[in-house]
A = this chain, B = another copy of it.
Amino acid sequence: MSSSTHKGIFTISELAQELDISTRTIRYYEEIGLILPQRSGKGTRYYTRSDRARLKLILRGKRFGFSLHEIKEMITLFDEDRTGRKQLQRTIQYGEEKIRELDARIDELIRLREEILEFKTRFEEKMASLEAVEGNRESKE
């Protein structure tokens, strides 16, 4: 078993296992600047629970078809030290825009669900009619 200094820091493989991704993936995310873990004296990466939360957010974004580039844009936006009110306001506007996009997506997803449900219903009807013709009895009620 591996290191269990469970105080809120994780090794790369611990995170990989927990999040069900490869270590390569995690390193890749670092390559493209999505995460910046601390390093121990001689290079070993260590991740905080904050890093882990960030990774979860990334994976969540991916599950909805956002590219890593888009994801980066979104999260670094909230990261950076945005001094100046103009910048801050733009950031907030961007956030609002993203929320609106998400609302639209939720609606769309619900419609997709309904469509699939309809597909299924039609199919069930088809099967029912088949059953009627068949006159066969194989009840499973």
Q: Which residues of A are interface residues toward B (Cβ below 8 A)?
A: 57, 60-66, 74, 78, 83, 85, 88-89, 91-92, 95-96, 98-99, 102-103, 105-106, 108-110, 112-113, 115-117, 119-120, 123-124, 126-127, 130-131, 134, 137-138
Given contacts A62-B65, A88-B126, A130-B88, contact A120 B102 (CB under 8 A): no
Given contacts A83-B137, A106-B109, A109-B109, contact A98 B116 (CB under 8 A): yes
Q: Is the CB of B60 within 8 A of A63?
A: no
Q: Is the CB of A102 within 8 A of B131?
A: no
Given contacts A62-B65, A85-B131, A103-B113, contact A120 B108 (CB under 8 A): no
Given contacts A63-B65, A63-B108, contact A92 B123 (CB under 8 A): yes
Given contacts A88-B127, A137-B83, contact A109 B120 (CB under 8 A): no
Minimal Cβ-Cβ distance residue in B for A66: B65
Distance in angstroms from A116 CB to nearest chain B CB is 6
Q: Is the CB of B96 within 8 A of A120?
A: yes
Q: Is the CB of A89 within 8 A of B119?
A: no
Q: Is the CB of B109 within 8 A of A105?
A: yes
Identify 24 residue pairs between A and B in the complex whose beta-carbon atoms are under 8 Å apart, listed by A's number.
Answer: A60-B108, A61-B112, A63-B65, A63-B105, A85-B127, A85-B131, A85-B134, A88-B127, A88-B130, A92-B123, A92-B124, A95-B116, A95-B117, A95-B120, A95-B123, A96-B120, A98-B116, A99-B116, A99-B117, A102-B112, A102-B116, A106-B106, A106-B110, A109-B109
